Amino acid sequence: MKKINVGMIGFGYMGKMHTMCYDIMKYYYNTDVNINMYAVSNTSKTSFPIKFEKVYSDYKSLINDENVDVIDICVPNFLHKEILIEAIKAGKHIYCEKPLAADIESANEVMEAYKKYNYNKTSRITFEYRFVPAIMRAKQIIDEGKIGNIIHFNFKYYGSEFLDPNRPISWQSTKEKSGGGVLYALGTHAIDLIHYLIGDIDEVYADKRTHFKKRPLLGTDKTVDVEIEDILNVQLYSGDKMGTLLLSQVAAGSGIDLTFEIYGEKGAIKFTHENPNVIYYFNNEDEKSPIGGLSGFKAIETTQKYGGAASFPPPRVNIAWTRYHIASIFDFIDAVANDTKAYPDIQDGYKVQLVTDAIYNSAEKKKSITVK
């Protein structure tokens, strides 16, 4: 049995999520890989729900530990760059929360290191929605040509996290530390899905708004200006295909409200995260007779259609957000064990970063921007 030592950098919300996924992966997949949660580096004093062999006070010592195979990065966006560069230099496998970096300049520095050190290890930027069974089925339907040449598409990702005007400022709501607002928090997922399902984005035209322009400063009675957007609308172009991307973190009643529609010459597909086990497919060639016809969107059940899944939990169990992360981590670890590539990787993360930079440029300049 092959042993892979994982070093966690950061142990907040996402650090705990990743650690849990590594720990319980064996219950979901039949694998001959032994995942060892070997080390952790965390700046705040916290208790860990599992026992790490080593606890480091600084991330560089963890990265340079010759026993660590995988570096898992779960820190705020503005810290990604330095850690990624060190991990690339050390030749470690890398599993990093999205986005790649907090801004295009930092992302460029990461890619310079990627090229300078001829990085050829397995990497993953965590765009876990690629591992939703219904979205995997949508990819298959598109690749099989069942909807024909794509004409246009609509993506929407709404949440309500910032609807409370009394929610205090945190690193996630400052431009310097997060890099952006709803575009970074939610939009990067949608952009990666557009790349995955439709193709690279060539051009964008965007508009953004900040509804609540002041928020309380945590631990004080002061209010401060909000630097990031909570609403963003984008017109997108991918070759001859045109689409829209609508984002909000102030949409009442929205939880994880990710939806998309893709329309082709021969048919269409629809997806809503509220029903993550189903993809809706329309075949334009179905009989359209008013009586006895078969025309209409059909619900195709995709419940836990993961390759190699074990028997727990049973297929009837609804898919949840945690499950996508487990699938993403399994796919990555399997690639590490077999010395192959895993996607989306660092280069895919950079492609998303180029689009986010173009979107912000477009919103500021009030004009269409080509993605470089």
Q: Are 232 and 277 in contact (CB under 8 A)?
A: no
pLDDT above 80 for 306: no
Residue 62 is predicted with a pLDDT of 98
Q: How confident is the model at residue 361 (pLDDT cuts 50, 70, 90)?
A: very high
At 78 the three-state DSSP class reads helix
Residue 47 is predicted with a pLDDT of 72
pLDDT above 90 for 85: yes
pLDDT above 50 for 268: yes
Helices (runs of H) and strands (runs of E) counted in the chain: 10, 17
Mean pLDDT confidence for 90-110 = 97
pLDDT above 60 for 51: yes
Q: What are phi and psi of 99, to 5 degrees?
A: -80, 175
Query: Following CA atoms 43, 45, 46, 52 in sequence, which dihedral angle do they give, to the nearest 10 degrees?
Result: 70
Q: Which residues contact 244 (CB under 8 A, 6 or more apart)?
A: 153, 154, 155, 233, 234, 235, 236
For residue range 150-206, what is the model confidence (pLDDT) as tens digits? 999 999 999 998 999 998 888 777 888 889 999 999 999 999 999 999 999 999 999
Residue 313 is predicted with a pLDDT of 47
The domains of the chain, with CATH numbers, are 2-129 (3.40.50.720), 130-317+352-365 (3.30.360.10)
Spacing of C-alpha 355 from chain mean position: 14
If we measure between CA atoms, which residue out of 105, 356, 354 comes closest to residue 206?
Answer: 356
Q: Are 121 and 141 in contact (CB under 8 A)?
A: no
Residue 44 is predicted with a pLDDT of 72
Spacing of C-alpha 187 from chain mean position: 9
Q: What are phi and psi of 244, to 5 degrees?
A: -130, 150
How much is the pTM?
0.93
Expressed in angstroms, the distance from the first to the final Cα of the chain is 45
Q: Are 96 and 84 in contact (CB under 8 A)?
A: yes
Mean pLDDT confidence for 62-86 = 97
> Cα separation of 59 and 145, whole Å?
47
Q: How confident is the model at residue 285 (pLDDT cuts 50, 70, 90)?
A: confident
CA distances from 147 to 132, 264, 284 (A): 20, 5, 8
> Cα separation of 270 and 134, whole Å?
10
- Out of 124-133, 221-230, 319-328, pick the least confident: 319-328
Query: Following CA atoms 351, 21, 272, 298 in sequence, which dihedral angle do they give, to the nearest 10 degrees?
Result: 110
Mean pLDDT confidence for 316-327 = 72
Beta bridge partners of 243: 153, 236
Q: How confident is the model at residue 316 (pLDDT cuts 50, 70, 90)?
A: very low
Beta bridge partners of 124: 95
Q: Are 179 and 101 in contact (CB under 8 A)?
A: yes
Q: How confident is the model at residue 308 (pLDDT cuts 50, 70, 90)?
A: low
Q: Are 257 and 276 in contact (CB under 8 A)?
A: no
Mean pLDDT confidence for 244-266 = 94
Long-range contacts of 211-214, Cβ-Cβ distance < 8 Å, separation of 24 or more: 211/162, 211/250, 212/162, 212/165, 212/250
> Cα separation of 151 and 167, whole Å?
41
Longest Cα separation, the chain: 71
Beta bridge partners of 204: 236, 369
